[in-house]
Amino acid sequence: MKKYDHLTRNAAGRIVPGEINGEKHIPYKGVGKHIPDGRKFAPRIYSCADYPPDGNKLVPDLKEALIRAGIRDGMTISTHHHFRDGDLIANQVFDAAHELGIKSLRWFPSASFPCHQHVIKYLEDGTIHHIEGSMNGALGRFCSEGRMQGMGVLRSHGGRYQSVQDGEVRIDIAVIAAPTADPFGNANGVEGPAACGLLGFALADSQYADRVIVVTDNLVPFPCIPWQIHGNYVDFVVKVDQVGIPEKIVSGTTQITRSPDRLYIAELTARFCDEAGIIRDGFSYQAGAGGTALSIGNYFRDILRKRGWKARFIRAGSNKYPVEMLEEGLVDYILDGQTFDLEGVRSMRENPNHVNTSPFTSYNYHGKGNFATMVDVVILGATEVDLQFNGNVVTHSDGYLLHGIGGWQNCLFSRCTILPIPLFRDRIPVIRDKVTTLCGPGELIDVIVTERGIAINPLRTDLIEKMNGSGLPVKTIDQLKDEAEKICGKPSSPELDDELVAVVKWVDGTVLDAIRKVPV
């Protein structure tokens, strides 16, 4: 099987394969242009006659569960990333597969972390054929250097749900590590030593996989309440000593930045939102867990407090900052996709207004709407932006694949998308002629806020008008690019191989761009 074939130029002008890892894929057609047809993928019909009537689905260990789930060569195995860098289970799945002599698996994680570089040896020995999911750090390097047997496929959180729902990725075995579960398979993320808040990223896996294994270190008698994952989807339950390392589970950046430059960018972003009239009584926003985004949230909080206003909801990545706002009455709801610290976990456990969400409710493009489009303003990052406002979040300017897409693409559909980013990092300018990898079409990116000025997408004439007389340093994106190059010099283009190593999917399942091999 060829890694990829049938190269074509898609609607964004990028050369992408029409066949990837032996499967057909549709090239990107434009925002909202691909109209799906047919019906959703349906899992098999099961009979409760095949499951123990006492509800006890316990099996002795993970390997046994994999064998009973029918693991064999070429299968697709999925895991979730709610334990982030503290995950102990995904590696054990492939240890077991390796011991069983299984080959050519497709690993389909909702994201991978540095702790997963353990599986590099299984990529090398053929236990795993390729990864479809984010690849960070060492795994990203491995893929970038063309060492993976198959093509990497990167999807957004919403795109992952869409791909499972549409039957584009058929999960053979889903392994769902859970902080708490009962023997029937009901599970949640709010209780237990490895509490991570919720299990939303595993929702699609539980609904659509052929076989579902729940692994927990905190087994409680039926019923496990709340049941964020329904036992009715689950085949086997495994009790282990430990599913995750708590201090690494809550490893997201949970401190506001101390960097004066980033604080300045955050303040400028908040002022922009205020001048644009985005911040008002009843507004909504998404601010991620990065240091800059957190401090923007704090500026929003100060403005709400000062004017006696209240936000309707915060879309999160939650941690103590939005939790404080919820408890202070500055926001009605937190709609949470993942919790980044113990305060977030506690709040989700105790406060019914701290709601657990999944990529189905928040991001899925092939549904009857999703709430990402209803958010007034989202604050996102990027490794690069180009003169057409296209954004890149997965590769660095040297071509290396180092980050996942996360919910980034899905969030672009908000009413206003702002990227607060430094104009250059060390010597590397963030605004390029053309992004190395296209992850987000420029028509969806509204504003770039840098320490040396704010560029507004010319499509947003409304925002440009609102900035008249605001005193904010509004410039064109070309001006910002020139300013950076005056300081840094004009960067040359890195020489990348013609060979492709991974693709970036768009939220509708089409292929937006391909990532090239970095010559070593």
Residues within the interface to another protein (CB under 8 A): 260-261, 263-264, 397-399, 425-428, 451-452, 487-489, 491-494
- Least distance in Å: CB of 477 to another protein? 18
Angle in degrees, CA 167, 355, 262, rounded to 5: 95
**Closest CB to another protein among 19 and 274?**
274
Where are the alpha helices (H) located in 280-358, listed in sequence order?
291-307, 320-328, 342-350
Least distance in angstroms from the C-beta of 426 to another protein: 2
Cα–Cα distance for residue pair 102/127, rounded to 1 Å: 6
Q: How many CB atoms within 10 Å of residue 231?
A: 24
Nearer to another protein, 412 or 501 (CB): 501
Yes or no: say if 386 and 433 are a contact pair by the CB < 8 Å rule: yes
User: What is the enclosing helix (H) or strand (E) of 129?
Assistant: strand 128-131
Q: Tell me phi and psi for residue 517, to 5 degrees.
A: -70, 140
Three-class secondary structure of residue 155 per DSSP: coil
Of 43 and 473, CB closest to another protein? 473
Provide, rounded to whole angstroms, the least separation between the CB of residue 263 and another protein. Answer: 7
In this complex, which beta carbon is closest to another protein, that of residue 146 or of residue 494? 494
Closest contact distance (angstroms) between CB of 482 and another protein is: 13
The least distance separating another protein from the CB of residue 296, rounded to whole angstroms, comes to 16
Q: Which of 11, 4, 9 is nearest to 33 (CA)?
A: 11
331 close to 310: Cβ distance less than 8 angstroms: yes
Q: Which is nearer to another protein, 295 or 364 (CB)?
A: 295
Residue length of the chain? 520
Owner of token pair 């409710």: 361
Tell the smallest beta-carbon distance from residue 159 to another protein (Å).
28
Decide whether 281 or 398 has the Cβ nearer to another protein. 398
Which CB sits closer to another protein, 27 or 140?
140
Task: Confirm if 120 and 126 have CB atoms less than 8 A apart.
Answer: no
Residue 334, both tokens: 């937190």
Q: Least Å distance between CB 237 and another protein?
A: 45
- CA dist., res. 494 & res. 488, Å (int): 16
